[in-house]
Amino acid sequence: MQNFIFDNKTTIIFGKDTQSQVGLETKKYGKTVLLHFGGGSIKASGLYDEVVHSLKKEGLKIVELGGVKPNPRLSLVKEGIKLCIDQKIDFILAVGGGSVIDSAKAIAIGAKYEGDVWDFFTGKAEIKVSLPLGVVLTIPAAGSEASTGCVITNEDGWYKRSCGSVLIRPQYAIMNPVLTYTLPSYQTACGATDMIAHVMERYFTNELDVDFTDHLCEVTIKTIMKHTKIVLKDPSHYATRAELMWAGTIAHNGLLGTGRIEDWGSHDIEHELSGIYDIAHGAGLAIVFPAWMKYVYKHDVNRFVQFAHRVFNVDIDFNNPESTALEGIHKLQSFLSEIGLPTSLKDVNIPSDRLEEMAKKATESNSLGNFVKLHEKDVLAILQIAAE
């Protein structure tokens, strides 16, 4: 087990009607709030009105910035930073899913930085200070509500890049499972896949002595798979929406990675896909992760056998452990198909003509991943498997 620091400061306020507490929570951090959100869904659902009412009740001044798109864009982040400076914003409130939260995080660090906020995403600058931010979560998926990470897409070249720091963990996350009842099936399935991928990026490690977190990872994946299947049949099932929502936070708040060297190769490869083709991140992961698994499993067959056996109850073939490992990958792909996700680039009409370009772009600064270090040729091979 590696030495680690686990620093988990986000206060989770979970359950029915919790959005009414947003004003009281926000008041702890300042008087002028940037209310950041996406499209019209929070207005249609009435959530926007509830949030504004709660903030106004506590006498808070609201500055609005809507319009966050999936795979959130740098241009809107820059608009938000300007607003924060001009309007002397104390606190950023993200109402939405991972894209809105990540956009809010980028604004929060950019507003306190004199240079170009993109510097944080290229490694030119390190996060040293941030405006505080809070979240009312409407999409369980990205885990950004309690994570240290942030992913933004720069339209200039369609680079999708990440940065991270404990300083951008939200101060609080309000999580009401009822707010997720209206999520379409496809988005629910994409969210579940993102959660599972967050666990798997931690699970596939070369660290041997991580028995406790291995088991925590396995039951988290199993919980997500089980409840995704239930919720796709019964979208307004409170208990199941709640299990998914809470598991999504734990999948990515850092606990499951304690003591491990995490991988993140599949996420980085997927960022090339959704950066260029603007597909849902979860759909991209459903395509890339199994391809990555097929490419790397021989590096540590035992770990893939463990995954197959413990997560999917695959009988271990002791005479042929490779077949057990492959059966686990096959079971994961079957699950992804079952919940309606693509498992090949063909399924989302992405042609093979830019695979080389993506492989080159993904590795232009560094190799990807840790379980196996991936160079340009490896990323290309994985994308080719994904294209099959």
On the 0-12 / 13-18 / 19+ scale of CB atoms within 10 A, 128 is exposed
Q: What angle do CA 172, 178, 180 make, to 5 degrees?
A: 80
- Output Rg (C-alpha) for the chain, integer angstroms: 20
Binding a copy of itself by CB under 8 A: which of 68, 100, 127, 216?
Answer: 216
> For the packed helices 98-110 and 74-86, what is the interaxial angle rounded to 10 degrees?
50
As measured in angstroms, the least distance from the Cβ of 10 to a copy of itself is 8
Nearer to a copy of itself, 67 or 259 (CB): 259
Encoded one letter per residue, x for contact with a copy of itself by CB under 8 A and - for no contact, window 168-207 reads: ----------------------------------------
Nearer to a copy of itself, 151 or 251 (CB): 251
For 186, phi then psi, to 5°, come to -60, -40
Nearer to a copy of itself, 82 or 226 (CB): 226
Told to check if 235 binds a copy of itself by CB under 8 A, we report no
Tell me the one-letter amino acid at 65: L
Binding a copy of itself by CB under 8 A: which of 64, 155, 209, 388?
Answer: 209
**Residue pointed to by tokens 């603007």:** 278
Told to check if 211 binds a copy of itself by CB under 8 A, we report yes
Nearer to a copy of itself, 313 or 365 (CB): 313
Binding a copy of itself by CB under 8 A: which of 85, 129, 239, 261?
Answer: 239
Binding a copy of itself by CB under 8 A: which of 32, 185, 223, 323?
Answer: 223
Query: Contacts with a copy of itself in 3-22 (CB under 8 A)?
Result: 3-9, 11-16, 18
**DSSP assignment of 180-224, as one string?**
GTT--HHHHHHHHHHHHHHHHHHHS-S----HHHHHHHHHHHHHH
3-class SS at 298?
helix
Told to check if 315 binds a copy of itself by CB under 8 A, we report no
Told to check if 325 binds a copy of itself by CB under 8 A, we report no
As measured in angstroms, the least distance from the Cβ of 224 to a copy of itself is 9
As measured in angstroms, the least distance from the Cβ of 249 to a copy of itself is 9
CA dihedral 344, 350, 352, 353 (to 10 degrees): -170
Binding a copy of itself by CB under 8 A: which of 33, 133, 152, 242?
Answer: 242
In whole angstroms, what is the distance from residue 99 CA to residue 42 CA? 14
Binding a copy of itself by CB under 8 A: which of 43, 215, 299, 377?
Answer: 215
CB 140 within 8 A of CB 248: yes
Distances (CA, A) of 355 to 70, 134, 345, 387: 22, 38, 10, 9
In whole angstroms, what is the distance from residue 333 CA to residue 172 CA? 35
Told to check if 222 binds a copy of itself by CB under 8 A, we report yes
CB 379 within 8 A of CB 289: no
> How many amino acids of this chain bind a copy of itself (CB under 8 A)?
39
As measured in angstroms, the least distance from the Cβ of 188 to a copy of itself is 17
Nearer to a copy of itself, 38 or 140 (CB): 140
CB 55 within 8 A of CB 89: no
Buried b (16+ CB within 10 A) or exposed e, 195-228: bbbbbbbbbbbeeeebeebbebbbebbbbbbebb
As measured in angstroms, the least distance from the Cβ of 360 to a copy of itself is 38
3-class SS at 171?
coil
As measured in angstroms, the least distance from the Cβ of 177 to a copy of itself is 8
Told to check if 220 binds a copy of itself by CB under 8 A, we report yes
Binding a copy of itself by CB under 8 A: which of 50, 102, 145, 243?
Answer: 243
Nearer to a copy of itself, 6 or 88 (CB): 6
Told to check if 137 binds a copy of itself by CB under 8 A, we report no
**Contacts with a copy of itself, residue ranges (CB under 8 A):** 1-9, 11-16, 18, 208-209, 211-212, 215-216, 218-220, 222-223, 226-227, 238-239, 242-243, 246-247, 250, 255, 258-259
